[in-house]
Amino acid sequence: MSRLDTHRGRVLLTGGAGYIGSHCCVALMQEGYQPVILDNFANARRDVPDRIALAANGPAPQVIEADIRDRTVMETVLAEGGFDAVMHFAGLKSVAESVAHPERYFDINLGGLTVLVAAMAATDTRRLIFSSSATVYDARATGGAISEDAPLGPASPYGHSKLLAEKVLLAQAEADPSWRVGILRYFNPAGAHGTGHIGEEPADPPDNLMPYIAQVASGRRARLQVFGDDYDTPDGTGVRDYIHVADLARGHVASLAALERDGRGHVVNLGTGRGQSVLEMRAAYARVSGREVSFEIRPRRPGDVAQCYCDATRARAVLGFEARHGIDEMCASSWSWTRRREGLA
Ligand code: NAD
Ligand code: UFG
């Protein structure tokens, strides 16, 4: 019986101070695990561990400031840490930046993963959960809900870096069956922790829809630009599968449990299985926040697809996971986080 079966284990969270990692850290603490964060703080604030403590109503997690590309440090951390599993969130995530600077994405998302895998192999750490993305699919080749067996075909260097990382992990698990790898393909994470203590630190200006809408609601930006209203969707605007970040975090805890229970790895979509349009998201945010969210229709954004939502069947079957929160809860939690962050609370 592994240590995860007998007591809640120690889990290393690379990139654990980031948006998704910090929510997973809270979820793991609340389930009795001992998460340890490793982060170089390239895209996270220094006070995140203290805010995780507030959100979890517990102690601040241990933090190791390091870069995943540093093999010596990674081996030392893993050799001395006694970790039962690693959750690998560290990486870069902007599709547009990856087109302009693919070298950064292959260096960190692929090179960093390769270093991590080598360090794990050298220290007999063989449980890994990986943050992959719906961007690995060829969304144009997929008509409706996207299942894990849908055609793969990323449209950006970011997507390629994720797909190549998946291949590295699957090859490792095939070569050594004692490895157990959970590959989680996130659809569109949104929202924040219900306490308002942790949430997303968006780029400036934000790349993604929800943080952009939040800044229009707060008055930081004048209006939302809706990229295209002539898609073949019910209201003409792009449709995506927004999943509450707290649900996503529960999905990681379920993935860890499934790796132990099933004795083998999995590749699973994490989404709700439902699509929402840009205008539906805008209307929900305006209603929930009670603020004006002005918008204008702009041309389509290059590279966007009309719709992208998941088939959530395998997540239910393999992880016993189903998203619980809807878009109103995503908007409400995003709004309390945004108000606190922008000093409006
Ligand atoms: P984030 O930027 O908030 O978190 C990433 C964390 O990794 C940050 O804290 C950053 O400081 C850290 N980091 C970056 N490079 C590092 C390095 N070389 N060494 C150590 N730490 C490093 O991003 P997020 O939204 O929390 O995303 C987490 C993971 O999920 C990423 O791998 C991302 O590609 C993936 N993902 C995110 C989304 C999304 O929409 N947020 C969707 C699909 C997949
Ligand atoms: N959108 C707008 N205005 C904005 C921002 C977005 O109209 O200011 C629209 C987009 O055109 C799209 C929808 O809102 O129809 C969602 O766009 P996002 O940028 O929020 O999300 P994407 O689906 O384009 O991409 C996100 C992440 C990727 C990830 C992908 C997985 O940015 O990293 O989800 O589906 F790979």
Q: Which amino acid is at 116?
A: L
Q: Edge-to-edge strand order for the sheet containing 85-88?
A: 62-65, 34-39, 10-14, 85-88, 127-133, 180-186, 266-270
Measured CA to CA, the distance from residue 204 to residue 207 in angstroms comes to 8
Ligand 1 centroid to residue 330 C-alpha, Å: 20
- As annotated, the active-site residues are 158
pLDDT category of residue 7 using cuts at 50, 70 and 90: low
Digit-coded pLDDT (tens) for 80-102: 999 999 999 999 999 999 999 99
Which ligand 1 atom is at minimum distance from the Cα of 20?
Answer: 26
pLDDT band at 8 (very low <50, low <70, confident <90, very high): confident
Domain spans of the chain, in order of start: 10-192+243-271
pLDDT score at 139: 80
Q: How far is the CA of 309 from the centre of ligand 2 (A)?
A: 12
Mutate to test the pocket of ligand 1, among 20, 37, 158, 183 (most ligand atoms within 8 A of CB): 20
Mean pLDDT of the chain: 95
How many whole angstroms from 41 Cα to the centroid of ligand 2? 24
Query: Measured in angstroms, how far is the CA atom of residue 305 from the centroid of ligand 2?
Result: 9
Of ligand 2's atoms, which has the minimum distance to the CA of residue 188?
A: 34
CA gap 130, 90 in Å, rounded: 10
Q: Is the CB of 304 under 6 A from ligand 2?
A: yes
Ligand 2 pocket mutation, candidates 301, 307, 308, 310, criterion most atoms within 8 A of CB: 301
The residue whose two tokens read 């200006």 is: 205
pTM for the whole structure: 0.97
Q: What is the C-alpha R_g of the chain?
A: 19
Q: How far apart are CA 251 and CA 64, in angstroms?
A: 24
Q: What is the pLDDT of residue 16?
A: 98
Strands (E), 178-244: 180-186, 188-190, 224-227, 239-240, 242-244
Q: What is the CATH number of domain 10-192+243-271?
A: 3.40.50.720
Q: Specify the pLDDT at position 343.
A: 83
pLDDT tens readout for residues 24-75: 999 999 999 999 999 999 999 999 999 999 999 999 999 999 999 999 999 9
Atom of ligand 1 nearest to the CA of 189: 40
Instruction: Report whether pLDDT(6) > 70.
Output: no
